[in-house]
Chains A and B, each alone.
Chain A
Amino acid sequence: AQSVTQLGSHVSVSEGALVLLRCNYSSSVPPYLFWYVQYPNQGLQLLLKYTTGATLVKGINGFEAEFKKSETSFHLTKPSAHMSDAAEYFCAVGEGGGSQGNLIFGKGTKLSVKP
């Protein structure tokens, strides 16, 4: 069965500092991996996704994530945090390889950005 673990329910960084949000997954088939962002009082918006091919994936708003199969990880990074990045971030795994399964979500990491 698939599962997703996000390390740290709350992360706080200073404006301009590196953002690192951690995500580890388990999957018995080649995974499709996603990061979503939820701003206050809004729905979830896709930040980026990994399906096949290049393991370093670039998304919107300067975020990127790297798929590391050996570490079963898909950590989200941004070199320099901005106040507008304050939100909750969700990692999700889906079944790739033609299985077309549903997405399983992690419990989320709330990012705070200090001025």
Chain B
Amino acid sequence: DADVTQTPRNRITKTGKRIMLECSQTKGHDRMYWYRQDPGLGLRLIYYSFDVKDINKGEISDGYSVSRQAQAKFSLSLESAIPNQTALYFCATSAWDRGNTGELFFGEGSRLTVL
């Protein structure tokens, strides 16, 4: 089983719908992240969480919200989806202990299409 699991892997929805992308991890890492990938733009950070009680906005948080339900679970919500939120979304984890130096471990991505 993958260490970082994202669901759903693919989703097509309509403008105005509420969408939740879920992420769970078995790596035991404290830090979790949501990134968005668009062609030619690389990865941009949406939100990150250093522990259950710590949530921070990233570079492009407008239109998104997150919830850290437990150390292992971090979900991303689009309250009212719009077409320019069509993208590939990645969840990632990291740690700064036991030999880890902040490198990210990624899920396989969730491809979201908003019509």
Contact = CB atoms under 8 A, between A and B. Distances in A.
B42 A34 contact: no
A55 to B, nearest CB: 16
Contacts of A101: 102
A106 B40 CA distance: 10
Instruction: Pick the most buried of B33, B104, B107: most chain A CB atoms within 10 A of its CB.
Output: B104
Given A43-B90, A43-B109, A44-B90, A107 B41 contact: yes
User: How large, as a class, is the contact surface on chain B?
Assistant: 20 to 34
Contacts of B108: 42-43
Given A43-B106, A44-B90, A108 B42 contact: yes
A46 B105 CA distance: 8
Contacts of A12: none
Contacts of B42: 90, 105-108
B106 A32 contact: no
Given A42-B108, A43-B108, A102-B48, A34 B41 contact: no
Contacts of A51: 101
User: How large, as a class, is the contact surface on chain A?
Assistant: 20 to 34
Contacts of B40: 9, 107-108
A97 to B, nearest CB: 11
A82 interface: no
Contacts of A108: 40, 42
Interface in B78-115: 90, 92, 94, 96, 101-109
A26 B107 CA distance: 28
A49 B103 contact: yes
A80 interface: no
Given A49-B101, A92-B104, A102-B58, 5 more contacts: A32-B101, A42-B109, A44-B106, A103-B104, A105-B42
